[in-house]
Amino acid sequence: MKSLHKVLSFITLCSVVSAQTFNVTVNETDTSQITFGGGAGDALLCKVDEEGNVVGGQPGCYNVQPQPPCTEFAAMGQQNTSFASWKFKGSALYITSLLNDVSPLFNVDIDGNISEVDGAQIGRDSKPFTCFNLFLTEGLDSNVEHTVNLTVKGRSPNSQSSTDETGSFSLISYTYTASNNSVSTSTNSSASNSTNPSGSSDNGNGSERLRITQSSLLLPVLALYFWFS
C-alpha cells in the first residue's frame, strides 16, 4: 500500500508539473508571426556618440534614450493606418512599445474586444522614445487561439505636440503566457518559465525558443525523490 501511495502521489505531482505555465516573447523582427501594414515595419534607431548626441547621416532614425538604448529594434509607423496583427494561444498578453509625450491613442483589439490605450499619457515624461509596457491583460482562455490587432486610433488628448500630428505607431515585442498543454509557438520565439514578462528569455531577434522547460527539469528530480523515499 505504501508503494501504491507513492505512485499515486507521484502521478498527482506530475499532473501539476505538466500544467506549468511559461512566457513566450515574440519580437517585432519575427514577421513569420506578426503581420504589419499601413507603413509600419522595422525601423532605424539612431546611433549616438559617447556624449549622447545623435550621429549624423541617419535620416529618419528614431531617437531612443537613455543610452545604452532599452532596445536594439522596434517596428514604427507614421501613418494613421499603421498596424500589427498576430495570433497566440495563452492566458495573458503583454505588449511593449517605444513611446514618448507625443505618442498616439492605440486600439488593442483581442478577439473583437477593443481596449483604448493612451500612448502619450504613458510616455508623458519622455521627449525621446523610451521602452514602456503599452498594454497587459490576463485571464484569457489558454486553450483558445486569440487574434490581436494593434492599431492607431488617433491623436492623444494628452499629446504635447505643437502640431496636429497623430504620433508614431510602435511595437517592440509582445509576450504571452502559455502552458505546455496549449503551446502555439514556433521556433521563431523565445520562452521562459517566469510569470513576469520582463523575465522572458530574449536572444535579440526572437529566433529561438528555450528548449528546456521547468517540467523537464522537475520530473527527474521528483522521480528520484519518490524512488529513494
In a domain, 228, yes or no: yes
Whole-number Å distance between alpha carbons of 220 and 35: 40
**56 or 216, which is more confident:** 56
pLDDT tens digits, one per residue of 35-93 = 999 999 999 999 988 887 889 889 999 999 988 889 999 999 999 999 999 999 999 99
- Assign 33 a pLDDT band (cuts: 50, 70, 90): very high
The pLDDT, as a whole number, for residue 5 is 52
The pLDDT, as a whole number, for residue 187 is 41
The residues, any chain, with a CB within 8 Å of residue 118's CB and separated by 6 or more, are 105, 106, 156, 157, 158
- Identify the DSSP state of 199: G
- If asked whether residues 30 and 10 sit together in one domain, one would say no
- If asked whether residues 207 and 197 sit together in one domain, one would say yes
- If asked whether residues 149 and 43 sit together in one domain, one would say yes
Model confidence, pTM: 0.76
- If asked whether residues 199 and 228 sit together in one domain, one would say no
Q: What percent of the chain is predicted at pLDDT more than 90?
A: 62
- If asked whether residues 122 and 28 sit together in one domain, one would say yes
113 alpha carbon, distance to own chain's centre: 19
- If asked whether residues 147 and 39 sit together in one domain, one would say yes
- Assign 10 a pLDDT band (cuts: 50, 70, 90): very low
pLDDT tens digits, one per residue of 110-124 = 999 999 999 999 999
In a domain, 161, yes or no: yes
pLDDT tens digits, one per residue of 141-164 = 999 999 999 999 999 999 999 999
Q: What is the mean pLDDT of residues 104-109?
A: 98
Indicate which CATH number applies to the domain containing 118: 2.60.120.260
In a domain, 157, yes or no: yes
Whole-number Å distance between alpha carbons of 107 and 89: 20
Whole-number Å distance between alpha carbons of 144 and 181: 12
- If asked whether residues 93 and 132 sit together in one domain, one would say yes
The pLDDT, as a whole number, for residue 201 is 38
In this predicted structure, the answer to whether residue 210 has a pLDDT above a threshold of 90 is: no
In a domain, 222, yes or no: yes
Count of the separate structural domains present in the chain: 2
- If asked whether residues 141 and 34 sit together in one domain, one would say yes
- If asked whether residues 35 and 62 sit together in one domain, one would say yes
Identify whether the C-beta of residue 120 lies closer than 8 Å to the C-beta of residue 106: no
Identify whether the C-beta of residue 120 lies closer than 8 Å to the C-beta of residue 66: no
Whole-number Å distance between alpha carbons of 3 and 133: 50
Q: What is the phi/psi pair of residue 71, to 5°? A: -150, 155
In a domain, 99, yes or no: yes
- If asked whether residues 4 and 29 sit together in one domain, one would say no
In this predicted structure, the answer to whether residue 12 has a pLDDT above a threshold of 80 is: no
- If asked whether residues 145 and 228 sit together in one domain, one would say no
In a domain, 217, yes or no: yes
Identify whether the C-beta of residue 91 lies closer than 8 Å to the C-beta of residue 179: yes
In a domain, 53, yes or no: no
In a domain, 154, yes or no: yes
Task: Find the domain containing 72 and state its range.
Answer: 21-48+58-211
- If asked whether residues 14 and 43 sit together in one domain, one would say no
Whole-number Å distance between alpha carbons of 187 and 23: 14
In one letter, which amino acid is 79?
Answer: Q
